[in-house]
Structure 1
Amino acid sequence: MLRRLLKSLVPRVPSVAIGAVLFAAVLVPSPLIRESLQSATAVAEGISTGRILVHYKTSTASQATVAIERRLGARWVRTVPDLGVRVLQVPAEARNRVLAELKALPEVAFVEADGMLQAQDVVPNDPSFPQNFALGGGAWGWTMTHTTQAWDITKGDNSVVIAILDTGIKTNGLSDFDGQISSTWNVLNGSTDATSSAGNHGTYVAGIAALAVNNNAGGAGFCPGCRLMIVQVGTDSGAYLSDIASGLTWAADHGARVANMSWAGTTDSSTLQMATTYAHSKGMVMTAAAGNSNCDCVTYPAADPYVLGVAGVTSSGTKAGDSNFGSWVKVAAPEGDMTAWPSINGAPGYAPVGGTSSAAPAVAGIAGLLFSANPAITNAQAEQALESTSAPVAFNVQYGRVDAMAAMGFLGFIDPQPPTPPLNAYPPLLLVETNGDWNYRPLTSAPEPGQVLLRGQGGWTGAAPLRLVAVQWQRCDPTGAACSLMATAAKYTVQP
């Protein structure tokens, strides 16, 4: 057992919690906090717009229904591809009246407001990646989900495409995106330009899913060998339901095996349901941020039956403080204080991020690994592998925290290079002395030789004053007894 001994006695707040926050996406990219995406807290569809979505029972509008639309003062904007849902523009003050009149028509299957979603407040040789074993930062999410172990089987295949339905992408000249983007589409203007009007949120989300690896630059995505399909469906101000639906059907029609939607809103949409049903019928796995409101409050598209809603988990295995939760959320994945992602403030470089906007694309990347290992599996098989092998968590989600290697095993793959057995069978402990009382705090997992551990401030509860006086890294037997001092520096590389 390896444990970190922290001797402590100084003035601090009795209960201290320090950690990065990456915010999930509601349908509008959020402002940054510590280079985090601020997110899933907003109820985007609550934003009043003058856009209406109408679907006729015949799937197409007749001359008579078009005449009615015109009489009501509605202007046709476009039709959502593959769904036959018409997007109409009306004066904002007339929206409710037009909705009511269209709903009364026998020809109408459904009519609804086109709400706006908000984005949520996102061992290679890459220089930022060695921090992945750090206690207070880095890319610990890869090890927690055993993604680096799954990389022994595949780091992804360039035939597997992950669609990022977001705010476009700003590569800022970063080589991590070189060769990673297979195609782009801008739903907002019907062009392939997803960069000139791009927001910041989508760049970070895309990087988590599939940044390149082993290029001596930046970090790594969860499926670095996969390719990205950048579909711009919104801006930093938000995204319309109809644009997300259009982006989803476009991605499904153009070969994406996986699609990520780091957006959230509290109102279900028939149009979005049609889009997810269509995409699933085309073999797609879909992931979405659960939201960043720290509540059991259902959000969409995460709660859609064909979508893997993703909550956030911290490096200690607890629920991320901002993350939504509940039985409507299918799985959880790492979020918060993970470095090596492209900076989301629009400037070149890398920074730590967090939020359920980061958790969802992590699952998308792992799904990409499954399709890369066996392109013949169906989306239902990939979903079953991710769900049924999830590790238990201490908060409410339907399944648990995703495990890339366990999902590989479910599909029949065996790691050709098993990792060195851990130093002990139990999680190592942090030991902190608070005015003479010893408090143990578990580390993230049993460390392995070669991993780098960093002292983190953590979260402690005790009577003030509290002060960190010293740190010791100790190797102990599984019971915590018979410990021997290994090091006293803030950073320690685990020895065999």
Structure 2
Amino acid sequence: MRKVEFNREKRPVVWQEDQASAVLSYSRRRSIVTVLASALVLTACGGGGGGDSSDSGENLVSGRIGIEARTRIDSDTADDIYWGTAVANDDTPQSLPSPAIAGGYLSASVGTYGGSGTDFYRDMEDDFRLHLSSNQVVSIAAFAVNGASSAGTPSALVSLGSTTTGLSPGTPVSLSPTSGDGNYDLRLQALTGGPFRYLISVSSPASDSALGVSADDVDWVPGEALVTMASPMQAQSLSSGGPLASATREEVGNGLWRVKRNQATALTASTREERKADTLAWIQSLREVSGVVSAEPNYLYHALTVDPTNDSLYPLQEWHYQAINLPTAWQALASPGEGVRVAVLDTGVFSRTPNTGHNWHPDLDDGNENGNNLQILSTSDFVTTSDDSQAGEDGNPANPGTDDGTAPSFHGTHVAGTIAALDNDVGGVGVAPLATLLPIRVLDNTGNGSSLELINAINYLASLSAAQRPDIINLSLGGVAPSTALENAINNASDKGILFVAAAGNQGTTDRVYPAAFDRVIAVGAVDAGNKRASYSTFGNWIDLVAPGGDSTRDGNNDGQADAVYSDWGQQTGSVFEPAYAGVTGTSMAAPHVSGVLALMRERDPSLSLAKFREYLRRGELTDVLGSQTEYGYGLINALKAVDAASADDLGTFISAYPSAFLFDGSVTEASVLLEEVPGDSTENPLGSLTLDSVPSWLSVTKNPDGDAVRLDATIIDSHAAKQSKVTLGYTNENGPQTLELPVNVQLGDPVQSRNAGRHYVLLYNADDPSGDPVQQTVVTPSGGRYTFTFKDVPAGRYLLVAGTDMDNNGLICEQGEACAEYPTNGLPQPISKGEGDLTGLTLTTSFRRAALSSTGLPHSATQVYRVRHPSATTKEMTR
């Protein structure tokens, strides 16, 4: 039985000009400050995201749209049926990569969308084939289509192998392989009702390969003992001879005494381990002293301050935290960031009750007095527009959301989560989870603000007492104007010891972005999971260093996930606000990694100054060198090196791995990891005690000397058995036995040319009057795993650039379950400015995943949609 009903004959098409205007609403202010999870205001000469300064005379606006890694689309969507290009996939299952994100369309009926004049078609079954490991999960979410309610509520069945379950809009389902590793057929069948879109998300098998952080084995203080005496009288008459000779005694209470041995009487011991062994022998002799009931070491107890494995979001955060050697730094720290105050000047912070504040994101405030990372200052909202319940400055930094149904930016919440999300088994964890966050709202609900609002906020923070003012200010925002007044405000605050960290910008050029380019600001560029400069990341000789910012078109570390940075977010549905999480990319995401590491450093050295930080940076004590200083500054921030520098090399000696995992793809069967001691001049020798405690049977790993380091060379010896796993290493430092786990990421690869998110409608809107039809529209299909687009005869002005699929043929793009690209970042659209001449080289990324994600990695928040001028073929015959 044929499931797709359409006429395959291609006909000429004409444009319909009478379609309704776009469903779009913005309240944009001309501004200097814009959120840098997106690119800054662009200019025609050299600023267009890699723009071309040449003038073709055609007034072009052009660029390319990358496709999120591992993205595929159903081969017979309604849009394909409409264009006559559908390929039925029920008789021959369509192949999907594993992991994957794929969108599709089904309908048990045919009909016309109300009011639009466009049609939907019957498509009752889609089949896919994929290779799964036993620990992978396949999640499917369905979305009803706007304008088709008269056709009835859709219902469907989903089958994976021998497992079948029902599927309906609003209720995602998850299925797991039941017969171990192997090939599986995934079948989706429409049963009743009208059209619906669906998303398939196939998880990565790497989710269980997190870098382990475990508590130290039993440790004790050398030269000390806790002694319990039979009676106070015996304690007072302790002999000064024997093992108590020259020992000092301190009464603790209840017959317990702390006894310290005079080191002059101790045996000569050159290492901590020898001193500990000598202490044990001394304690054994104490137990033989008359009147001593017990004698034991003064044991050390190390709180495992950060245990990321109990935070559900951590498997998605793992790549960007491993990249900066953060898990090992956590292992070396007792209280990461405690007592350090970090101000986040941004869009505010998520609240369930934004009109009144409080009820903050549970990842930032768990309601426990001992775990509350947020401190709300008396003035914490400097936005003067009336986009919230209190016009002008006030003490409520809550993100107000929007009142027009558009998706608000919870950008500030995302930044705050990366810096200091609590380690409370909710969501994710921040770089410095014990630091105190000071959320300050300087950007409105469109992600824009003025330089005056930013200056007022900085001046206010600098005027606070030393106990109240922040140690660090994170600025994941910027503009192209070098405001003297803003620089003066920063310099004044810097004179009071405040460190400034700012995103370098997403233009992909060398144009300076402010405040990052000011002398007293630490400018941060972005890299992906392969430690390559993200294509959007601004660069130049003014960049200080780089940190993970992600690039969702890449899977740089072969972990099966697009390289997005995951952190806290929010979801607004009408007047209801719910906490959520998001994967976003940009230098805005890189900057808070550095702010978090600075908090770790300030906890160790409260006197850390900008001059001292830059001297460490110059000497190579904070970073891993990646390449050209023009592209990467002094390199990629290394949290372990940084806290060691701030600790005057007093952390102990730990092993640092670079890269942080063994990376294999379909053609690469050999990989290496370099292990180095931090600090490098330590007298300890943990590399000498290195052991390979656990290695997968299909992998060969050998230790080889490499100067002062050790290189681990790994080779896949059984490619059929190779899968996501880990290598466990053991070593001993001055604190005792340590464990280091290195993920082994094995993927069959995701050829860029195979990526496909379907036909895209690319729209260019007037940013100052976005309520009308698009200024221009073009339709593009992928070639080589990406799209290219060109608009001609575009006059100078400010524009919004968006693109997306129309899988259901209802004339709307960027609905839930549709692929969408907004310039420059999905969920955070920003205007572009075009001058005279051409604006070329614009780059966007399309994805089926919008900013807010559910626990399954599928969208669940209301998203902004755009109406397309739909081409029609009036002579096309459609079977009903």
TM-score by length of 1: 0.64
User: Which residue, 370, 384, 395 being the options, matches 1:192?
Assistant: 395
Q: Distance in 1 between matches of 2:364 and 2:427?
A: 10
Q: Distance in 2 between matches of 1:202 and 1:418?
A: 36
Question: Structure 2: which amino acid aligns with 1:238?
Answer: N
User: Which residue, 469, 476, 490 being the options, matches 1:262?
Assistant: 476
Contact preservation (8 Å) 1:315, 1:334: yes
Question: Structure 1: which amino acid aligns with 2:727?
Answer: V
Determine the structure 2 residue equivalent to 1:143.
322
Q: Distance in 2 between matches of 1:397 and 1:362?
A: 15
Determine the structure 2 residue equivalent to 1:159.
339
Residue 450 of structure 1, CA deviation:
11
Deviations 1:38-70 (A, max 9, x none): x134359xxxxxxxxxxxxxxxxxxxxxxxxxx
Relative to total residues, which structure has the larger helix share, 1 or 2?
A: 1
Contact preservation (8 Å) 1:204, 1:343: yes
**Residue 568 (structure 2) pairs with residue 342 (structure 1):** yes
User: Which residue, 586, 603, 606 being the options, matches 1:372?
Assistant: 603
Deviations 1:163-199 (A, max 9, x none): 1010111044532211111124011222111115264
Q: Does the C-alpha gap of structure 1 residues 290 and 443 become closer, same or farther in structure 2, counting only changes over 3 Å?
A: farther
Question: Structure 2: which amino acid aligns with 1:475?
Answer: V
Residue 304 of structure 1, CA deviation:
0.4
Contact preservation (8 Å) 1:287, 1:307: yes
Q: Secondary structure at the match of 1:204?
A: helix
Determine the structure 2 residue equivalent to 1:311.
525
User: Which residue, 205, 230, 238 being the options, matches 2:439?
Assistant: 230
RMSD of aligned Cα (Å): 3.7
Contact preservation (8 Å) 1:317, 1:393: yes
Deviations 1:297-352 (A, max 9, x none): 11111100000110001221110122111111111111223555113555523232
Deviations 1:224-280 (A, max 9, x none): 111011111111241101111111122222310100111121121111111111111
Q: Distance in 2 between matches of 1:385 and 1:128?
A: 34
Question: Structure 2: which amino acid aligns with 1:430?
Answer: F
- Equivalent positions of 1:54-453 (< 5 A) are 123=213, 124-126=306-308, 129=311, 137-151=316-330, 152-172=332-352, 173-178=360-365, 179-184=372-377, 185-188=380-383, 189-195=392-398, 197=400, 199-213=409-423, 215-235=424-444, 236-254=446-464, 255-336=469-550, 337-338=563-564, 340-343=566-569, 346=572, 347-386=578-617, 388=619, 389=621, 390-395=623-628, 396-414=631-649, 416=651, 418-419=653-654, 428-433=662-667, 439=668
Q: Distance in 2 between matches of 1:363 and 1:421?
A: 18
Q: Secondary structure at the match of 2:461?
A: helix
Residue 204 of structure 1, CA deviation:
0.5
Structure 2's unaligned 5+ residue stretches are: 1-30, 44-212, 214-305, 353-359, 366-371, 384-391, 402-408, 551-562, 573-577, 677-689, 705-711, 730-880
Q: Distance in 2 between matches of 1:26 and 1:362?
A: 24
Contact preservation (8 Å) 2:344, 2:416: yes
Q: Does the C-alpha gap of structure 1 residues 378 and 321 become closer, same or farther in structure 2, counting only changes over 3 Å?
A: same
Structure 1's unaligned 5+ residue stretches are: 1-24, 31-36, 45-122, 434-438, 454-471
Q: Share of identical aligned residues, percent?
A: 23
Deviations 1:131-178 (A, max 9, x none): 76x7xx533222222222222225434421101010111044532211
TM-score by length of 2: 0.37
Q: Distance in 2 between matches of 1:450 and 1:216?
A: 30
- Report which of the two structures shows the higher radius of gyration computed on alpha carbons: 2
Contact preservation (8 Å) 1:154, 1:369: no
Q: Secondary structure at the match of 2:611?
A: helix
Contact preservation (8 Å) 2:669, 2:716: no
Q: Does the C-alpha gap of structure 1 residues 486 and 420 become closer, same or farther in structure 2, counting only changes over 3 Å?
A: farther
Residue 129 of structure 1, CA deviation:
4.9
Determine the structure 2 residue equivalent to 1:42.
41
Residue 402 of structure 1, CA deviation:
1.4
Q: Distance in 1 between matches of 2:694 and 2:714?
A: 23
Contact preservation (8 Å) 1:370, 1:382: no
Q: Does the C-alpha gap of structure 1 residues 421 and 162 become closer, same or farther in structure 2, counting only changes over 3 Å?
A: closer
Contact preservation (8 Å) 2:418, 2:596: yes
Q: Distance in 2 between matches of 1:207 and 1:171?
A: 14
Residue 485 of structure 1, CA deviation:
4.4
Contact preservation (8 Å) 2:694, 2:727: yes
Contact preservation (8 Å) 1:127, 1:217: no
Contact preservation (8 Å) 1:340, 1:351: yes
Q: Distance in 1 between matches of 2:714 and 2:363?
A: 45
Q: Distance in 2 between matches of 1:131 and 1:452?
A: 26
Q: Secondary structure at the match of 1:177?
A: coil
Contact preservation (8 Å) 2:325, 2:660: no
